[in-house]
Amino acid sequence: MKTVATLAVVLFAVGTGLALGPVARAQDTPTPSTPQASDHGMMSGDMKAMMGMMGQMNQMMENCNRMMQSKNDRRDEKNPTQKGRPG
């Protein structure tokens, strides 16, 4: 159980680091004085990439939650006297 929780925390940290990487780099780049054609109401490529990574991270977290729940369910089936106890 601890390894699954640790894995979830690590995946969350890595996903957050990947998602925030473009934001940190964007602060260092100078902004153009004239808006470009792609800036009119459209998301930039970096923003689309970040949204995609956040979606992937959300899927990973959902998968992890499902795995943890199924593991807890199996534990409760094998040992019904400990149902509800943290494990």
pTM of the model as a whole: 0.41
Residue 69: predicted pLDDT: 94
**pLDDT < 70 regions, the chain:** 1, 23-43, 82-87
Residue 58: predicted pLDDT: 94
Residue 33: predicted pLDDT: 59
Encode the chain in three state secondary structure: CHHHHHHHHHHHHHHHHHHHHHHHHHHHCCCCCCCCHHHCCCCCHHHHHHHHHHHHHHHHHHHHHHHHHHHHHHHHHHCHHHCCCCC
